Chains A and B, each alone.
Chain A
Amino acid sequence: MNLLKILIYDGSFEGLLCCIFRIYEQKILVFKIVKKNEPLSDLFAENIEIHTDEVRAQRVWSGIQRKAGKISIERILMAFLSEIQGEEHTIIRYVQYLIDSKRNIEDNLSHPVVQRLQDVVKMVNRERHRMKAFVRFQLLTDGIYYSGIEPDFNVLPLIKDHFAHRYADQQWIIYDLRRNYGLYYDLKTVSEMELEIAPKANANNIFQEEEILYQELWKKYFKHTNIESRKNTALHIRHVPKRYWKYLTEKM
């Protein structure tokens, strides 16, 4: 009989790859993957703590890359960044399907695992796209453009290049207040950073005076570009869901 094995990992991508390593190494059939901080529920399972090992992780990743096309790599990474509890299982089933299959599986969208990852990619992409749109920079007194966000998924790694490219001539910080880390661009490179106290969206004292005025102008513009006789609140909210309003200048 196969006893359920619970693999506990540190929540990093490398850690997840090490879970895959262990599953293949010990031919584990019945398993559950949990992050360290997630609750364990199964009493009759065997708990295995997975140690994150760079070398093993790299071996697994190379193995996956040999079989996977660009689309599969993207699916795996994005599903990981979704941080959805339990999504690890879909990722692993996908990897197994990928390794076992002789054909290219990427287009087989009627396969439930492929379909599910495709859906997750869509959800994450949507959030990425929203963040490209909804970031609102505010000019701090020290000349840095700052934006706080609270995305549903961990999308900072996915929007980094977009902002680095677009705002190549200004210093900026985009800070994920939910995950408490941010990206800082210093006119040369983008690096990850943590702030002890991240600025709140309306802490006026740390913003340049000009900043407040431009915010007023933007609000004015937002109001006046609306056509009252075409009002369609439902459509408005579908495009700009309320949970994002907190950080949108025009909605403050």
Chain B
Amino acid sequence: MNWEKIVDKLSILSDAAKYDVSCASSGSKRSNTNKGLGDARGMGICHTYTEDGRCVSLLKILLTNHCIFDCAYCTSRKSNDIKRAAFTVQEVVDLTINFYRRNYIEGLFLSSGIFKDADFTMERLVSIAKKLRTEHKFNGYIHLKAIPGASKELMNLAALYADRLSVNIELPTIEGLKELAPDKNRADMERPMNDLKTGIQIYKEEKKKSRFTPLFAPAGQSTQMVVGASGESDMQILYTAKYFYQKYHLKRVYYSGYVPISTDTRLPAIGTAVPMVRENRLYQTDWLVRFYGFKVEEIVNPNFPDLELDKDPKLAWALRHPEFFPVDINTAELWKIYRVPGIGVQSALKIVKARNFQKLRLDHLKQLGIATNRAQYFIRTASPMNFQAELPSKGIEQLVLSNYHGKYKNIVQQQLSLF
């Protein structure tokens, strides 16, 4: 290998890939049964975190940043005057294997600009995945970003080697797409998604007949859209997400706050803040829908088209629905406890278990490690009086939390900051 060149390419092609936010490496079923290298069962590991605090789990690179298209929001767009580079198939394979062997990564997340046409590019992505699986007996995680418009044959081949495939829908609305990515259209994105969905369904049927059926995209498919580039509302974003979750059985929809990189007047100017809080609120909503039993329409609808930035969506919903509270934690069904602001899934499950042993009071919740500073306003416990009166001050509460369970405290705060 020519090292200097590789260093150069890696710099350019990881720079260009970093705006793709999905980095998950979970959900595959690929196990190391061939005495090969790696394993992709279960939860993916974050091997490190970038200085912006994002999980680094996969080697996330572009095969090339050459591109025949001209999407306004993308650094690789044809009209952008930047240094271009391209890896060879072998270079990507070597990097992946050697990073993996050193326990830097869980696997590879490979996408690409479009070289010549969709299939020409897709074919190279597939051959990298194939080489890793067949020549190196690599069982780590592989996520390939499919090129919109790729043929059904290539998509099927890709699914044989990759754990996850994704086709990015890029912008939440069709109008936005027309405006900012004129070379692209929704149909080219939905076709490969549909092929994958069908393929995965067939696989599941086959699997019932024979357990030797080769894996087919075991971690399913996902997509991503850019947030804050085309003036869309949160309702439009979340309704689009719902459509894709339902129609193509996606595992995840990712939201990527637009990072201003262009002077193009169709886009937010350079220097505009990345909408990180908004992005976070969208993910919180996504969680509420996937794990907490909320319907999207309960959170955003024509009356409330945008998420509130200063409070999380669960709290916002609770404040709009005082009639739902207080929830009695000793008698309420689990789904109702899920809806209490400040109480996460884990805490709700703990409550339901612990209440078999005794009537729970507020101090019991603290013993269970559940922070009550927010929840107290929305629940009824076996404590005789009003909790606000019972809690002398926030300071004391924090003392309780920090009291030698230093590590534990962090988790609580993390959950709190999530909900």
Contacts and interface: CB of A to CB of B under 8 A. Distances in A.
B278 to A, nearest CB: 13
A138 B102 CA distance: 6
A230 B357 contact: no
B356 interface: yes
Interface string B360-372: 1000100111000
Contacts of B104: 136, 218, 249-250
A135 B101 CA distance: 11
B274 A132 contact: no
B39 A236 contact: no
B145 to A, nearest CB: 16
A238 B103 contact: no
B418 to A, nearest CB: 13
B328 to A, nearest CB: 17
Given A119-B408, A147-B103, A238-B410, A165 B32 contact: yes
Contacts of A109: 350, 353-354, 367-368
A227 B259 contact: yes
Given A145-B101, A218-B102, A123 B407 contact: yes
Contacts of A134: 47-48
B215 to A, nearest CB: 18
B354 A167 contact: no
A162 to B, nearest CB: 8
Given A217-B6, A224-B15, A230-B274, A115 B50 contact: no
Contacts of A249: 102, 104
Nearest to B19: A227
Contacts of B260: 229
Nearest to A223: B11
Contact of A107 (B60, B274, B276, B353): B353
Given A145-B101, A169-B37, A214-B99, A225 B56 contact: yes
A242 interface: no
A108 interface: yes
Contacts of B32: 165-166, 168
Nearest to A214: B98
Size class of the contact patch on chain B: 35 or more
Contact of B49 (A119, A210, A239): A239
B37 A170 contact: yes
B14 to A, nearest CB: 4
B10 A133 contact: no
A246 interface: no
B358 interface: yes
A107 B18 contact: no
Contacts of B274: 227, 229-230
A24 interface: no
A61 interface: no
Contact of B60 (A169, A225, A250): A225
A144 to B, nearest CB: 12
A232 B52 contact: yes
Interface in A124-144: 126, 129, 132-139
Contacts of A108: 354, 357
A169 B139 CA distance: 11
Given A109-B367, A133-B45, A231 B52 contact: yes
Interface residues of A, number: 56
A218 B99 contact: yes
Nearest to B7: A220
B51 interface: yes
A6 B276 CA distance: 57
Nearest to B31: A165
A119 B408 CA distance: 7
Contacts, number: 160
Contacts of B10: 217, 220-221, 224
A238 to B, nearest CB: 7
Given A166-B32, A168-B36, A222-B56, A231 B364 contact: no
B38 interface: yes
A248 interface: yes
Interface string B42-74: 000111111111111001100000000000000
B35 interface: yes
Contacts of A133: 45-48
B137 interface: yes
B354 A225 contact: no
A235 to B, nearest CB: 3
Contacts of A63: none
Contact of A216 (B7, B51, B276, B405): B7
Nearest to A164: B32
Interface in B270-291: 274, 276
Interface centre among A167, A169, A236 (most CB of B within 10 A): A169
B192 to A, nearest CB: 26
Contact of A236 (B36, B53, B408): B53
Contacts of A89: none
A109 B50 CA distance: 36
B49 to A, nearest CB: 4
Nearest to A166: B39
A112 interface: yes
A190 to B, nearest CB: 14
B95 interface: yes
Contact of A225 (B14, B53, B103): B14
A229 to B, nearest CB: 6
25 contacts: A109-B368, A110-B360, A119-B408, A122-B408, A136-B104, A145-B102, A166-B32, A166-B39, A167-B37, A217-B7, A217-B10, A220-B10, A220-B14, A221-B59, A224-B10, A224-B11, A225-B17, A225-B50, A227-B18, A228-B52, A230-B54, A233-B51, A235-B52, A238-B53, A239-B46
Given A107-B354, A227-B274, 6 more contacts: A107-B356, A122-B407, A122-B408, A170-B37, A229-B259, A230-B276
Q: Give 9 nearest A-B pairs by CB, closest first.
A: A235-B53, A230-B52, A239-B49, A232-B53, A226-B50, A107-B353, A224-B14, A137-B102, A166-B39
